[in-house]
Structure 1
């Protein structure tokens, strides 16, 4: 699996309401998209960013999207954004089955002297703990082997749980978002 995220900085002529309308109109196009594990349409109004986060089943599915009409339409509307990609090391669902409404993305740098196997084992244990947290819908861990960074991405069904996760994060960088729409074509299976 591959994770993908791009960020669109909202300019004076693009406000949060315009993003909300666009997502309301176009979000369902992803509800049954082949190869898509999940997509979160994310907005951080305070930071003025629209930053969708995807998990794709394979590299081929990711390529079909990036070279396809949906991404071309985004690029036509906002300019072609820089797309970050990561190898997914772990993905799982929590106990909450309501639609996720909030997301937390953490980024941590992996020190050069750190054993990658130790990192993988530590992250698997942390994910197992995370999956037991009340209010969690899903959690993923991904690796950027160019920058040697870990990305932990969690979806939450309520704001209090997401806020607690963000406050409790020990990462180098923590971003919080409102989930405007959530697509998970295969469901929780």
Structure 2
């Protein structure tokens, strides 16, 4: 699951940093949450054209996602920024990488459209194979693949110990990681 809040070009991103610093720990023990990476992009940094607050979540329990979206924590997001569109996907793959013992500094998100007329199963199988290989990269904290059948997109999320490699997707700096149920996230293929 992810929502993205695009902020004005002159927005003081210290406000977001303070928000995460003062409230991020509140998700550290949220029942049913696998992990939440508090991600930001800052205009002019790490190749970003925009200021954006865009955390992403991996849920162990879909009911927990529902509780979060209708609970006090998300009401605060709505109060402060308006109600963002929340995207969620069907998980296809998740695996911790060799850097899972270090705190992640970044995550990447990349979408890949399943071409019209292509075999969706073949596209998914190819993406799964690439994620199996990616999960062995020394810089990978964890990597996940999801499927959006509404848009016919594959969505690639990878947490990196250090900078996002060229071509891995949009780069987000991780301000905090809440991972109360990371060990409970199913590993490997879910397809």
Q: Give the TM-score normalised by structure 1.
A: 0.89
> Quick check: 1:48 aligned with 2:43?
no
For residues 54-111 of structure 1, the C-alpha deviation after alignment (integer angstroms, 9 at most, x for no partner) is: 1112332211111111111110011111111111110110011101011110011111
Give the total of aligned pairs: 177
Gaps of 5+ in 2: 44-49, 185-191
What is residue 32 of structure 2 aligned with on the other side?
A: 35
> Quick check: 1:69 aligned with 2:72?
yes
Moved over 4 A (4+): none
SS of the residue corresponding to residue 89 of structure 2 reads strand
> Quick check: 1:16 aligned with 2:17?
no
CA contact (8 A) 1:93 1:188 kept: no
CA contact (8 A) 2:60 2:181 kept: no
Deviation at 1:121, TM superposition (A): 1.5
Gaps of 5+ in 1: none
Aligned partners of 1:17 and 1:139: how far apart in 2?
28
Aligned partners of 1:187 and 1:139: how far apart in 2?
12
Q: Give the TM-score normalised by structure 2.
A: 0.88
Which of the numbers 90, 109, 117 marks the counterpart of 2:93?
90
What is the alpha-carbon root mean square deviation over aligned residues? 1.5
Deviation at 1:13, TM superposition (A): 7.9
